[in-house]
Amino acid sequence: MPMKKKPEELRSRAWFDNPANPDMTALYLERYLNYGLTAKELQSGKPIIGIAQTGSDLSPCNRPHLELAKRVREGIREAGGIAIEFPVHPIQETGKRPTAALDRNLAYLGLVEILYGYPLDGVVLTTGCDKTTPACLMAAATVDLPAIVLTGGPMLNGWFNGERTGSGTIIWKARELLAKGEIDYQKFIELVASSAPSAGYCNTMGTATTMNSLAEALGMSLPGCAAIPAPYRERGQIAYETGKRIVDMVFEDLKPSDIITRQALENVIIVNSAIGGSTNAPIHINAIARHVGVPLEVDDWERVGGQVPLIVNLQPAGTYLGEDFHRAGGVPAVVHELMRHGLIHENALTVNGRTMGDNCHERAALDADVIRTFETALVPAAGFKVVRGNLFDSAIMKTCVISDEFRTRYLSNPQDPDAFEGRAVVFDGPEDYHQRIDDPSLNIDEHCLLFIRGTGAIGFPGSAEVVNMRAPSYLLQRNITSLPCIGDGRQSGTSGSPSILNASPEAAAGGGLALLRTGDRVRIDLLKGRADILISDEELAQRRADFQAHGGYKYPPSQTPWQEIQRGIVDQLAQGMVLKPAVKYQRVAST
Ligand code: FES
Ligand code: MG
């Protein structure tokens, strides 16, 4: 690509080499000399490249970056830049209470301040665990400095008794076995731990592999980066190449706003259907779009991605795991197959300066069972279904994980093949669900629909991953494992439940879910995309008036300052759960 920036035009010059302001230059410069950098280096016109470090002992999923950063530095040096590594607020999906999602916007805010406020010309975003990838990309979108994604890579495949055990996904299976009394506590822990055999993040197509695959499909990482397992030698090699590449990107002035276009975002939606991506993806991708200023809505996910087949055979929708995905060709092989069917905007630009089409033309899949063709797809139309009605303005359903059991029980009435009705059983938040799900007095049977509310961005600050509720143990013993679940929270990307989730507005924001009562009849029509309480408009209006007179939906108090701050300014899941005041700040690096 053509060089657009000369060394003397680098942003970092304003800090490190500004003869018009010697006092400030000296002040900015001197402390960066005290660990061995020289003034000559810092004033030599070499780009200063940040390494946004998300790894730490607190965040095991991203811990490989502590080591990988060394290879990134070598790449940066080799290409003529200077590396400056700094920490990003840690986010560990499995370790943070009440939920790691609360921290996505906090890490975003922190990273925006760092990228804006320090002498950086470009940045390597070290991504991995679920929320770290969107947090970094959202910040890069807001600041609009040249930026490149390096993910740390998934763990090796997990195994137990000769079968693949995938992270997260195994928990949903194991908790059923525990509830049925088929395994004890000790076995439960062993089974779950078998899915985490090495450094890296979730090896399933959970939110981490989804978001890193989508970062690549967006054009923000080098081709092939997303799928390389953390312990593989190619991981260190691509870290080095990533470091080299960002230096050239600075001189080419290749910025997130050049890459994250409407076309690139549509590619992302299409790839998400093809990989069987997480239901967290629309939240995070819509947030990235909002921060870069490209219109994108929940309905785009169904319109653009609804009819795309599922071709990646990874758990939870399929069989295999991360190592298999990498060996089969990873994201470029998926894009290659999608391109054969004309579904990709091939001209979308990527961080290596080439187009998505150029990057993927020669990258056919290497294992036809792991990455299928359209002809051998696992599910013919695998995108998200958008559902709305008097319960909420929008919610989504991942149709590619609807099991045969679910289909037979709920979607096989020849008069009404895409709809089902049932008695609602309503839980207020995860604690209420955990306390009461096995309570026989609720009389839950296979004709019930389970609802959970108070679990959205405001109600459970950050929004809880709880919508995939298990059936009561007395039903599990009868082998009824999946009841329809609906809620204003999220669910883990590793869950194979066909829940209707991310309902917006949430109960705590006055959404229709707040008016629902246990015992109400609810009808879900997947063909029409409707979800309604079957009561008259008059009764609904009366309930709303009573609800408002009683002060609206009650949710637990905040436990930390950030919970309170975020609750006051956060948008709904359908709108990306962004901090509303943040959206107006765009391209701040040029201000
Ligand atoms: Fe970190 Fe799944 S828990 S990636
Ligand atoms: Mg999760």
Q: What is the ipTM of this complex?
A: 0.95
Ligand 1 atom closest to residue 59's alpha carbon, by position in its atom list: 1
Alpha-carbon distance of 545 to 540, in angstroms, equals 9
Ligand 1 atom closest to residue 61's alpha carbon, by position in its atom list: 1
Q: Kindly give the distance from the C-alpha atom of residue 295 to the centroid of ligand 2, in angstroms, as a whole number.
A: 26
Q: What is the pLDDT of residues 435-445, one digit of tens each?
A: 999 999 999 99
What mean pLDDT is predicted for residues 176-190?
91
Alpha-carbon distance of 26 to 39, in angstroms, equals 10
Q: What is the pLDDT of residues 80-120, one digit of tens each?
A: 999 999 999 999 999 999 999 999 999 999 999 999 999 99
Ligand 1 atom closest to residue 93's alpha carbon, by position in its atom list: 3
Per-residue model confidence (pLDDT) at position 81: 98
- Going by pLDDT thresholds of 50, 70 and 90, the confidence category of residue 472 is very high
Among 70-79, 172-181, 260-269, name the one with the lowest average pLDDT.
Answer: 172-181
What mean pLDDT is predicted for residues 332-349?
98
- Residue 131, ligand 1, Cβ within 6 A: no
Torsion of CA 181, 185, 190, 192, to 10 degrees: 70
Is the predicted pLDDT of residue 238 greater than 90, yes or no?
A: yes
Alpha-carbon distance of 160 to 150, in angstroms, equals 30
Nearest CA among 421, 423, 405, 411 for reference residue 476: 405
- Residue 200, ligand 1, Cβ within 6 A: no
**Both tokens of residue 591?**
């201000």
Residue to substitute in 130, 195, 321 for testing ligand 1 pocket (most ligand atoms within 8 angstroms of CB): 130
Alpha-carbon distance of 230 to 28, in angstroms, equals 37
- Residue 60, ligand 1, Cβ within 6 A: no
What mean pLDDT is predicted for residues 414-442?
94
What mean pLDDT is predicted for residues 306-312?
97
Alpha-carbon distance of 141 to 502, in angstroms, equals 23
CATH of domain 385-550: 3.50.30.80
Query: In the predicted model, what is the mean pLDDT of the chain?
Result: 96
Is the predicted pLDDT of residue 496 greater than 80, yes or no?
A: no
Kind of pairing between the strands at 530-533 and 82-87 = unpaired
Is the predicted pLDDT of residue 498 greater than 90, yes or no?
A: no
Q: Kindly give the distance from the C-alpha atom of residue 94 to the centroid of ligand 1, in angstroms, as a whole number.
A: 7
Write out the E strands in 141-286: 147-151, 158-160, 163-165
List the residue whose alpha carbon is closest to atom 1 of ligand 1. 129
Is the predicted pLDDT of residue 394 greater than 90, yes or no?
A: yes
- Residue 211, ligand 1, Cβ within 6 A: no
- Going by pLDDT thresholds of 50, 70 and 90, the confidence category of residue 412 is confident
Is the predicted pLDDT of residue 497 greater than 90, yes or no?
A: no
